[in-house]
Structure 1
């Protein structure tokens, strides 16, 4: 880890501005047209399963999860996961993802979806969703829709459109 002392902790409400600036720097304005962002417009992420990475007081990474449904089945949508460019390739993204998945499982969630790079996320245990089984709003590359079962077999028979969990939608 190059002797960096990384602290992973739950995201706090006061972290929102720093995380938004991080997203601006790493993803740019085009992020708002992505399918996952279209879902995020309607429902807040869950602070108890979203985390930040810090070196001292410097925020260097973030991962968020928000409640969605796949058809009628509750799930979480992981993302965005981002790490400041100078701190990439040091395991911070993996640390954030591992913590997010562990906490989600501990809190009784069963399924986590994401739209991302399969070679990267397969190292954590995400698997490609069979083409056509899950749909997202707007255009998305089906080869980037991935799933992680927090409970063995939880994704069996699950299919349908990914949508915000309307029971938790913004007012």
Structure 2
């Protein structure tokens, strides 16, 4: 059994170690990381899954981005420790965090990932939404948390910058 909680400041190193374990070295060179550079993740949606002993088995983070002047969430990374894979932990993290995002009023979420895996959570290919290169457009997926939230949203995905 796992408990989902919001990632705390003290979890940062443990979560980073999990991401290093699950993803290839140089993961921060991916195009999605350019969108995250200098932008804080959404604290209430950055979650960890702990087992009964308090050990982190998985983690997920979300980042605000802009597309054509509209705000969206960029899901990722989501990771499950290799010894915990196949237990439904990824699904628990994704479903739990999407429910929280919807409850907070977020309207749309995108990610770069495998459609066969993410389809089960309601994600589908986004056309007209362009991630920084080199990103395969077939892997740019989205889900609407509000009806028609992706209608008319097209353009480049850009770093979230607060207008002043």
Q: TM-score, normalised by structure 1?
A: 0.91
Which structure 1 residue ranges, 4+ long, deviate > 4 Å from structure 2? Answer: none
Tell me the CA shift for residue 28 of structure 1.
2.5
Q: Tell me how far apart the structure 2 counterparts of residues 96 and 157 of structure 1 sit (CA, whole Å).
A: 29
Q: Tell me how far apart the structure 2 counterparts of residues 126 and 18 of structure 1 sit (CA, whole Å).
A: 28
- State the match for 2:14 in structure 1: 18
The answer as to 2:104 corresponding to 1:100 is no
The answer as to 2:108 corresponding to 1:117 is no
132, 135, 157: which one aligns with 1:137: 132
- State the match for 1:54 in structure 2: 50
> Aligned pairs, how many?
162
Q: Deviations over 1:108-167 (max 9, x none)?
A: 10000000110000000001112xx01122310111000010001010000111112101
Q: Tell me how far apart the structure 2 counterparts of residues 61 and 31 of structure 1 sit (CA, whole Å).
A: 17
- Any stretches of 5+ residues in structure 1 without a counterpart? none
Tell me the CA shift for residue 61 of structure 1.
0.3
**Residues 34 and 138, structure 1, Cα contact 8 Å, conserved in 2:** no
**Residues 72 and 107, structure 2, Cα contact 8 Å, conserved in 1:** yes
- State the match for 2:32 in structure 1: 36
- State the match for 1:164 in structure 2: 159
- Any stretches of 5+ residues in structure 2 without a counterpart? none
Q: Tell me how far apart the structure 2 counterparts of residues 40 and 67 of structure 1 sit (CA, whole Å).
A: 8
